[in-house]
Amino acid sequence: MDEEAIPVLHVENASAAVAWYARLGFAEQWEHRFEPGLPAFVEVARGAVRLFLSEHRGDARPGTLIYLRVRDVDAVAAEFGVPPVSAPWAREIELQDPDGNRLRVGTPVS
């Protein structure tokens, strides 16, 4: 097993969040609820990158910022209709999911 760190993001509606993250190329891996009607805890993945999306109160703070390195930030920028910005370290965009979590997405400059 490879070791990894998986960010946990708070979401109000896991189904809506999964649909939004699908636009970033993430696919739902699994969903857990202790019982029907209780909050959902979902894993989404884009290749080896994984995120946990949690409806549970206290699991994460709204407004969290995560950084995603991708091969082609221009494709992601086109999907969301935002222009990339060039920095000395990467071409980047910043997005905000429906729950206020911030995602900085970049392709490193070679």
| Burial class (CB within 10 angstroms; exposed 0-12, middle 13-18, buried 19+) of 76 | buried
Average pLDDT over residues 6-31: 97
Spatial distance between the Cα atoms of 76 and 83, rounded to a whole number of angstroms? 10
Of the listed ranges 9-18, 37-46, 62-71, 73-82, the least confidently predicted one is 62-71
Average pLDDT over residues 64-87: 96
